[in-house]
Structure 1
Amino acid sequence: MTVLLILCSYTACKNQVFNCMMSDPLAIPNRYFQPGDLIIGGIASQLMMPFEPNNFSAHPLQSVVGELMILAKNYQHTLALVFAVKEINENCQILPNITLGFSIYDSYLSPRWTYRATVELLSTQDRFLPNYKCGTQNNLISVIGGLYYLTPVFIAQVLGMYKVPQFTYGSAPAKDKIESSSFYQMVPNESYQYQGIVQLLLHFGWTWIGVLADDTDKGDRFVQSIISEFIPRGICFDFLERVETMYVSRVFETLNWMLKIYIIIMKSKANALVIYEETIMHLRLLLYLPKMGWTPMELKGKVWIMTVQMELTTLTLQRTWDIQDIHGALSFSIHSNKLFGFQNFLQSRNPFLTKEDGFIRDFWEQSFECGFPKPFSGDDEAEKTCTGEEKLEDLPGAFFEVHMTGHSYNIYNAVYTVAHALHTMQSCQPKCQRILNGGRRTAEDYQPWKLNQFLKHVSFNNSAGEKVSFDKNRESVTGFDIINWVTFPNQTFQRVKVGKLDLQAISPDQVFTIHEDAITWHSSFNQALPLSVCTDSCHPGHSRRKQEGKPFCCFYCIPCPEGKMSSKKDMDECIKCPEDYYPNKGHDFCISKRVTFLSYEETLGITLAILAFIFSLVTALIIGTFVRYHDTPIVKANNQDLTYTLLISLLLCFLCTLLFIGHPEKMMCLIRQISFGLVFSVAVSCVLAKTITVVLAFMATKPGSRMRKWVGKRLANTIVLFCSFIQVGISTVWLATSPPFPDVDMHSMAEEIVLECNEGSVTMFYCVLGYMGFLAIVSFFVAFLARNLPDSFNEAKFITFSMLVFCSVWLSFVPTYLSSKGKSMVAVEIFSILASGAGLLGCIFFPKCYIIIMRPELNNRDQLIRRH
């Protein structure tokens, strides 16, 4: 909007006689003026004045229609400026010999009135004549104004030409809107506020939210900022609606649009809703729709998260509206502190004693619903007459607060900022007097543009003991308070400070603080922490999987697979435990694996050891029996030396199983498989030699047979040595290339770390077993062919059964061994050794021992020949 700066001809002002008299095109109805050497201008945002569109068919004064609407709560902003000026003038320590005055106008929340008020501040006193020094001058030194977004922009467009310092105490415009170097912002940059909202949402785990934002340029910046801030931090939007400006001519369209938003909000699972608008009026109307009869849908409790600009404000027409709908709301508020004497100053206000205050009567009438006697009015039936005895503290908090609000605190600090900068200018040392005119302080020395050089570096502690200063961008470096709004049925409410965003904190951990126990939630939550998530959190032991077609905050909870765990809520992936740990049954933490091996201290180990000793003892008894009866025919038959060799090798086989039990050591790992393979190869070789001896002996009994020369001990010994030598060769190659060694198995058993002997070369291990199996199969085949030979001393039948048992054991050993894990593999091998050894011992020698001990009469040559 273009501002018309009215100029008078310089020649018309001669001999201090002002001849350029012109009428004020439209006088500002509300003004509060106090004279002083230097004037601080103020542009308030307390009143709203309805207008009809200006079609230039009537005088502008006639375009004002209807009554003023009062934002009663904002009257405190005016009083904060008045109070600060009063304190400074009464303080002899600051600005001695200089008195401050003020000139306060209202912007009426209108661009035209904002421009009008700004030009008025630059004009000659009581005349609308900017740019001329005719008559009494205002001596304007700075302007404090601009509560809402565009108001400071309009002010700056005028003041920027004169370099007059401007302090905004409310919503900060975008930097590209203000190019003036004399613009100072009492509110920290809004980006800090967005970061604080993110911290608040993440603290409570609110990742599924709704957003209502002004449908303005500032609302666009807010939406773009929160999208870039929220989404990377894991916060999703259930809905994002824009709040349009309400016009009287489109009231029904607006209400229908608000009804649509109301339904979206009430159906949403999001309980945390961020609202960003200049006033709370739209939200109040939105929540009042059910009581207006526009919707049967009941109002649900929500957590309203409000930005700095919003205050719990009530217009006259909203006096009966219940404010408990926003009970439990959280608001980022401008930091404020209690100021001594301010509350008493407010309570001393009286419309009959402060007639120069052009705001107090309108405020008083609408706040207390009374009227002042109007002269020359014939209306004697006033409903209620204002007496001046009304008390501000009796007003509901939504109408007016006697405690200093954040905006008022900023105005108070802005006035003191100007005063301290002026004081520095006044007491400037000679080294900086070059800024002034020759060191003499005249009216020119206090030109507003000169004050900017001192405002840039101003820093002081206010009466509340808090530091006030600006950063390089001329923005305040204070912070924000987090306020919990607690409302009561009598339309009063209480601000409860539950946290803060401290931009001056030393540690990053102290920037954002929240006291959760101090928060009062909406009654519908029964004082439990409200949830605002798309889906419930995945508990430890589960991981998240995104739901297709929905935002990333919506997911399924999948149990962790075997071997993995999740110790926190809402983990995207389950993780593996360290190698020496395993997950518990709930897969929510790791347990240290226990170290295990087949030992003598456990039942399985001691059982196998006892079996080995028993079989060894039985074998030793059989050897003793055979030694005692070595001269009997049954012992002498079928090569006595092979019998003793077989029995000794079986004894060693039983004893070698003890090498598999106990803590795996290097030497134990080297010899246990080799010794087992060698002694079993000797045993099977003896069985093979016995079988071949039986076959050759029978063939040698035939007349003219040439087999007699092969029958004897030499052949048997040769077979045993040759077959055993091959196994020795295999074992030697094994030890030379990849010998066994002690190892730790962390993976085969989920809950155990198994100490074991690594076989080194698995191929060589199976070569040893394979060769032993080959000898057994050959022995079984030869014995099977010789099982029916007519010989009373024929062992072929017994050898056939023993080899059948032996082969069955070791054929079942391979799949069982491969399917076993940990120490069970060792137990399977020990059991196979004992079982196969016991099969050979039982099938071959128990029948002979039975004859020797139980039927000695059969153990003689004559009896055996007779049976033959």
Structure 2
Amino acid sequence: MWITAVVLLVVNLSNYNIVALQDSSGLGCRLLDGSGPAILTEPGDFIIGGVFSLHNYLKTIEHTFTHAPEPLQCRGRSVTPQELRFARAMMFAIKEINNSTELLPGIRLGYQIYDSCASVSVATRATFQLINGLESTFSLSASCSKSSTVSAIVAESGSTPSIAMARVLSPFGIAEVSHYATCACLSNKQQYPTFSRTIPSDQFQAAALAQLVKHFGWTWIGAVRSDSDYGNSGMAAFLAAANTEGIYVEYSEAFYRTNPRSRVRRVAEVIRSATARVVVAFAAAGDMRVLFEELLELGFPPLQWVGSEAWVTDPLVTPFEMCLGAVGFAIRRAVIPGLRNFLLDLKFWESAFGCHLTSGPVGPGERVCNGSENVQQLQNAYTDTSQLRITNMVYKAVYAVAHGLHSLVCTQKNGSTLHCDRGMKPNPLQVLEHIRKVNFTLNGNRVSFDANGDPVATYELVNWQLSEHGQVEFVTVGYYDASAPEGELLTMTRNITWTGGQSQVPKSVCSESCPPGTRKAVQRGKPVCCYDCVPCAENEISNETGDETCHGVFVMNCGDACIPKPIEFLSFSEYLGIILAASSVVGACLAIAIAAVFYLHKDTPIVRANNSELSFLLLFSLTLCFLCSLTFIGQPSQWSCMLRHTVFGVTFVLCISCVLGKTIVVLMAFRATLPGSNVMKWFGPPQQRLSVLAFTFVQVLICVLWLTLSPPFPNKNMKYYKDKIILECDVGSAVGFWAVLGYIGLLSLMCFVLAFLARKLPDNFNEAKFITFSMLIFCAVWITFIPAYVSSPGKFTVAVEIFAIISSSLSLVMCIFVPKCFILLFKPEKNTRKHMMGKVPSKKNTKTISRKGRDIF
């Protein structure tokens, strides 16, 4: 009883060719050549159109232009099982809705389903037929101008045919709800105002793929795509997202399954010869099958495939086990209760069991169906309902149209339907508006549309794994939710089996990370992820894998681990620092002791004759000179570097100014021997204090300018030693440093010259010879200091400077004050006025000298 129905269905689905109805009188309505009725149809109060790619190819026709072209025909006897399941799922959903008492109660939905043959031209023809509302039965007296009864259209599986249909439907305001057209371009409501879809846009999938590639650390990938709206638009979105994530593409190739074989082979050769081990494919299943066939013939090393949802769960490509381990995003699986039993009602025997239902003769290798075939045990792409992904999108699309119609034609109150107007003829734009506003839950899945007609983007991350029975199965290993917070978009739920059965994540980088001791050198003309590993220069190091620059100046050995270089400076804890610090303190204590001795004997002739005020000021400055050397010891810091040089410069100028003042007074006192001379009134105590203050102020001014413009600062010196770092004070401005030293040298030279001129004055009053000798030592120390300072390495530079400070200060103490202290402490008999006035050539001079010594000194 079912044989006749099956034969008719097989004929319709496998090789339909409508002969145009001719009206020789020219009256009435008729189908033009090439037009045809729907493949599957059912009448109803409201009609939903459907367009599916039941066949994948068109019959090739060569046009001779000598007669009218033949009608477009699909090629192949068998239909695509998956697309047939889509069409049957639409029929099943409409059957459920018609049996529902809650959705469109009392209203019967009908359908008209066409085969597009995956062709833009056939899809466009089907669209016009749905718009025209022509039925399969025609009257020669009927008018062709009647309006369409199609409320909305569920179509199409491909983006390119969907785009063509949307351009035709938009002027008429008829809603198109696609279940599989993912091209991001269709979200443009200015170009496609009536298009909606239940599957997420490729814009979301492209972002998800970029996140996936980034998650596994693949920075160097290959890219292939279908040369179609779906592939080109999707890959463009992916490349833009990948670029923002620091992912670089070695090649990007486009092809189509109808291209010449040479074109497909060229793409396969590019993939085989490339260095990228990960390939992202944004292509249709039919295109990937053609590419895999070429790669299988060429032979190639194992690659990690990352697929878009169009092919990564399609059974059409599962025979290629070389893709085991492939990962990609797929539409989330769903359960549609009762669908499998509904699918089995269709006795599609010829395709399922490889037999013919005709009773006539059969060809070689063919057999006649005998009725013993068991459809309940049948497992193929048509009957497999374990991976209902896109089929669920068809199911949701039909329900979305039904909910839109329900809100339009039915009156509701308090959530209950009161009445539905089955005779209403709604405007297509009204239907579109209500479809866009639907928001309901179907089998646990939320169905709604945003302003662009797109749903919320959620995906499953699937992985091709080999089952226990040796068959490829799609295992869900993670999820992607575009509505989740940043950082939680991609979640992993189980381990992935990678290409070749590996458990470790494969690597795909242009260049391996540079080991410690090397740096990256970008290869000319290539992306920044392609580089050579160049050894670090001398005195440089990279102590981490993948360093872009050599930076570790604090290390001395390279390798898997780096040992920090020792840091060296003159510290208080080492012998040299202890000796110098002790010498500085001893010198300061000596100056203080001498000051105490002078203070105890301040009223004695020898103290008074040596200008006690300048003597005490000189001893104070010498104490500071000794102590300032302590600032040169210890780890340099910003403040210690500025303090050590400025304190040194100011205290030494103060010291030399006092010596210079004493020298000038001595010289002037013994040169102004004429009676009634008033020269000495210009060199009294006030003038002496002012001269010391003036000389010191000049040095203070130099130091202020130095610290303001370019002060000293701590520096890490690596010039002298490769295995250690010298911490020292950089003088900052060399001009400022040498200006401070030069000013000290200038005053020292003046003091030496004046003291030398006064060296032959009477012995007992004359300390000029002691000043001369002290300044001779002072100048000698600082003259020898310059080459020693310049040539001394590391911390010894500081030691030389401290030695010069202590030596020059000690020379002043020993030459000027120690002889007088010896008289005060051990020769008190010489500390008399008579002795101080001895060795005078004449009585006149004695009186003069006595008066000068008493008044000036």
| TM score, norm. by length of structure 2 | 0.69
Instruction: Please give the alpha-carbon distance, in whole angstroms, between the structure 1 residues aligned to 2:394 and 2:712.
Output: 70
- In structure 1, the partner of 2:461 is 483
1:509 to 475, 479, 486: 486
8 A Cα contact 2:335 2:388, kept in partner: no
After TM superposition, list the pairs within 5 Å mapping 1:654-733 onto structure 2: 654-655=623-624, 657-658=626-627, 674=650, 676-683=652-659, 685-686=661-662, 725-732=690-697
Cα deviation for residue 509 of structure 1 reads: 2.1
Matched position secondary structure for 2:361? coil
8 A Cα contact 2:745 2:779, kept in partner: yes
- In structure 1, the partner of 2:499 is 523
8 A Cα contact 1:748 1:821, kept in partner: no
Instruction: Please give the alpha-carbon distance, in whole angstroms, between the structure 2 residues aligned to 1:444 and 1:329.
Output: 49
1:91 to 64, 83, 100: 100
8 A Cα contact 2:49 2:152, kept in partner: yes
1:415 to 373, 398, 406: 398
Instruction: Please give the alpha-carbon distance, in whole angstroms, between the structure 1 residues aligned to 2:235 and 2:171.
Output: 32
After TM superposition, list the pairs within 5 Å mapping 1:551-562 onto structure 2: 551-554=527-530
Matched position secondary structure for 1:166? strand
Cα deviation for residue 762 of structure 1 reads: 11
- In structure 1, the partner of 2:346 is 354
The AA in structure 1 aligned to 2:162 is P
1:80 and 2:89 matched: yes
- In structure 2, the partner of 1:268 is 274
User: Percent identity, aligned pairs only?
Assistant: 24
Matched position secondary structure for 1:428? strand
8 A Cα contact 2:439 2:447, kept in partner: yes
- In structure 2, the partner of 1:166 is 176
Instruction: Please give the alpha-carbon distance, in whole angstroms, between the structure 1 residues aligned to 2:358 and 2:712.
Output: 96
Matched position secondary structure for 1:461? strand
The AA in structure 1 aligned to 2:586 is I
| TM score, norm. by length of structure 1 | 0.69
Cα deviation for residue 421 of structure 1 reads: 1.8
Instruction: Please give the alpha-carbon distance, in whole angstroms, between the structure 2 residues aligned to 1:280 and 1:723.
Output: 104
- In structure 2, the partner of 1:310 is 311
Instruction: Please give the alpha-carbon distance, in whole angstroms, between the structure 2 residues aligned to 1:757 and 1:131.
Output: 109
Query: CA RMSD for the aligned pairs?
Result: 6.4
Instruction: Please give the alpha-carbon distance, in whole angstroms, between the structure 1 residues aligned to 2:598 and 2:400.
Output: 118
After TM superposition, list the pairs within 5 Å mapping 1:106-255 onto structure 2: 106-111=115-120, 113-115=122-124, 117-118=126-127, 125-127=135-137, 132=142, 140-156=150-166, 163-172=173-182, 174=185, 182-216=194-228, 219-222=231-234, 225=237, 230-231=242-243, 234-246=246-258, 250=260, 254=261
Distance 1:654 1:544, change over 3 A: same
Q: Which moved more, 1:69-78 or 1:680-689?
A: 680-689
Instruction: Please give the alpha-carbon distance, in whole angstroms, between the structure 2 residues aligned to 1:172 and 1:627.
Output: 103
Cα deviation for residue 415 of structure 1 reads: 0.8
Aligned length: 774
Cα deviation for residue 572 of structure 1 reads: 8.9
Listed one character per residue, the Cα deviations across residues 813-841 of structure 1 (whole Å, up to 9, x for unaligned) are: 67888999999999887654322112334
Instruction: Please give the alpha-carbon distance, in whole angstroms, between the structure 2 residues aligned to 1:194 and 1:329.
Output: 14
8 A Cα contact 1:25 1:60, kept in partner: no
Matched position secondary structure for 1:729? helix
Instruction: Please give the alpha-carbon distance, in whole angstroms, between the structure 2 residues aligned to 1:446 and 1:708.
Output: 134
- In structure 1, the partner of 2:432 is 452
8 A Cα contact 1:266 1:300, kept in partner: no
- In structure 1, the partner of 2:479 is 499
Matched position secondary structure for 2:489? strand
- In structure 1, the partner of 2:622 is 653
8 A Cα contact 2:107 2:420, kept in partner: no
1:472 to 445, 451, 457: 451
8 A Cα contact 1:681 1:723, kept in partner: no
1:364 and 2:352 matched: yes
Distance 1:483 1:75, change over 3 A: farther
1:549 and 2:557 matched: no
Listed one character per residue, the Cα deviations across residues 702-739 of structure 1 (whole Å, up to 9, x for unaligned) are: xxxx99879xxx98995998676433213346669986
Listed one character per residue, the Cα deviations across residues 151-192 of structure 1 (whole Å, up to 9, x for unaligned) are: 224545665676543222222565599967543333344334
The AA in structure 2 aligned to 1:550 is K
Instruction: Please give the alpha-carbon distance, in whole angstroms, between the structure 1 residues aligned to 2:686 and 2:790.
Output: 32
8 A Cα contact 2:409 2:420, kept in partner: no
Cα deviation for residue 119 of structure 1 reads: 5.8
The AA in structure 1 aligned to 2:448 is S
After TM superposition, list the pairs within 5 Å mapping 1:570-649 onto structure 2: 610-619=582-591, 641=610, 649=618
Distance 1:164 1:601, change over 3 A: same
The AA in structure 1 aligned to 2:151 is I
Cα deviation for residue 552 of structure 1 reads: 4.7
Cα deviation for residue 513 of structure 1 reads: 1.0
- In structure 2, the partner of 1:283 is 288
- In structure 1, the partner of 2:9 is none
8 A Cα contact 2:584 2:630, kept in partner: no
Distance 1:603 1:469, change over 3 A: farther
Q: Which moved more, 1:797-806 or 1:817-826?
A: 817-826
Cα deviation for residue 71 of structure 1 reads: 3.2
Q: Which moved more, 1:172-181 or 1:514-523?
A: 172-181
Q: Which moved more, 1:514-523 or 1:117-126?
A: 117-126
Instruction: Please give the alpha-carbon distance, in whole angstroms, between the structure 1 residues aligned to 2:574 and 2:78.
Output: 91
Q: Which moved more, 1:781-790 or 1:117-126?
A: 781-790
The AA in structure 2 aligned to 1:469 is S
- In structure 2, the partner of 1:301 is 303
Instruction: Please give the alpha-carbon distance, in whole angstroms, between the structure 1 residues aligned to 2:35 and 2:599.
Output: 140
Structure 2 alignment gaps of length 5 or more: 1-17, 414-418, 559-568, 632-636, 718-727, 840-857
Distance 1:539 1:70, change over 3 A: farther
8 A Cα contact 2:653 2:744, kept in partner: yes
Distance 1:55 1:643, change over 3 A: closer
Distance 1:724 1:423, change over 3 A: same
- In structure 2, the partner of 1:16 is none
1:45 and 2:53 matched: yes
Distance 1:498 1:133, change over 3 A: farther
Matched position secondary structure for 1:94? coil
- In structure 1, the partner of 2:566 is none
- In structure 1, the partner of 2:335 is 339
- In structure 2, the partner of 1:71 is 80
2:775 to 787, 796, 803: 803
8 A Cα contact 1:498 1:519, kept in partner: no
8 A Cα contact 1:740 1:760, kept in partner: no
Instruction: Please give the alpha-carbon distance, in whole angstroms, between the structure 2 residues aligned to 1:524 and 1:188.
Output: 31
Matched position secondary structure for 2:199? coil
Matched position secondary structure for 2:83? helix
Listed one character per residue, the Cα deviations across residues 726-762 of structure 1 (whole Å, up to 9, x for unaligned) are: 332133466699869999999823689xxx9999999
Distance 1:456 1:783, change over 3 A: closer
Cα deviation for residue 641 of structure 1 reads: 2.8
1:389 and 2:410 matched: no
The AA in structure 2 aligned to 1:421 is G
Matched position secondary structure for 2:782? helix
